[in-house]
Amino acid sequence: MTARFCEKSRELFSILKKGGEGQKPRPPVLLAPMAGITDSVFRRMCIREGCDFTFTEMVSASGLHFNNKKTRDLISIDPAETPCGIQLFGHDPALMADTVKRLFETLVSPDEISSVDINMGCPAPKITSNCDGSSLMRDPLLAGRIVEAAVKASPVPISVKFRKGWDDASVNAVEFARVMEQSGAAFLSVHGRTRMQMYSGAADRELIAEVVAAVSVPVVGNGDIFSADSAVDMLEKTGCAGLMIARGAQGNPFVFREIAARLDGKTPFVPTESERLGAALAHITEYCRDHGGGSFVDMRKHIAWYTKGMYGSTELRRQVNSCRDENELVSLVRAFMDAREVL
């Protein structure tokens, strides 16, 4: 079973490794699954900007198991955003296996979904308090049983995303990675921080390099990739097979185009403020079209990210946070954009 899925993962990475005409293939650049952020609209935007692979938001295996509608909506995949994987979280091996089995029997096709990722890295208290996410790093044997069960039930590769460890006293990513590989994981994504660090401090790239050296399956490096320079640094210091972008894509889907250009030996693309604001307006339009009335409030955080560092953005955020509908939100961003073009 492990060998079969390792071979599938190699095929997957071979497909994802892209390069310009006459150039060697480059490592794939993936969009990390982020709850409340990487919905279908955002995934499509990142694909258009050169992202090689996307994941759904973190989806509850229990929610799918009990046929929760809101949970089902999270796994809606548009053909324009493929290749795409579904990320699940849960701590019960039997329930995980049943969910994966039913997922492909009734909800999606293996032709639509390239992989299923199991979240063992989320640090949010509401997740870890239920023994999910990064809490599983404290019980590698249970984590291994979850992966084994999912692998046996899945027609597509199973991957695992995890962290450096629970805290500084229990850094176990290398040992954890070996268990995940032995359990049948096709590839691994490692965030170089402990759960207790959350997103503070710096991602430990030496630790990711140790994981790369310890296993034979592909390892994707995650943490502190915000630009082409930081992407190259991750590759050079870790030897990872791919890159995963999380916060670096917030308000900047162009980061994928920037990194791809650098890895292809071209001048990295850096968006102008007008291009960033144009992307924000397109994001509002697509998001509200897909999610309906009242959904404009979800765009407030995105506007803050798109305008970060721009002169006058603090006042814009204040206005955005009190606007009443989509039209007013669009008007505020357009006015801000027009004002910047005449500065």
Catalytic residue, candidates 6, 46, 51, 122:
122
Q: Is 188 helix (H, G, I), strand (E, B) or coil?
A: strand
Number of other CB atoms surrounding residue 230 within 10 Å: 19
Q: Which residue in this structure is represented by tokens 């005449």?
A: 342
Active site residue 6: no
Give the whole-angstrom CA distance, residue 308 versus residue 314: 9
The two three-digit tokens of residue 257, written as one number: 């185009």
Give the whole-angstrom CA distance, residue 281 versus residue 197: 34
Q: How big is the chain by its Cα radius of gyration, in Å? A: 20
Element (H, E) at 58: strand 54-60
Phi-psi region for residue 86, left (φ > 0), alpha (ψ -120 to 50) or beta? beta
The residues annotated as belonging to the active site are: 122
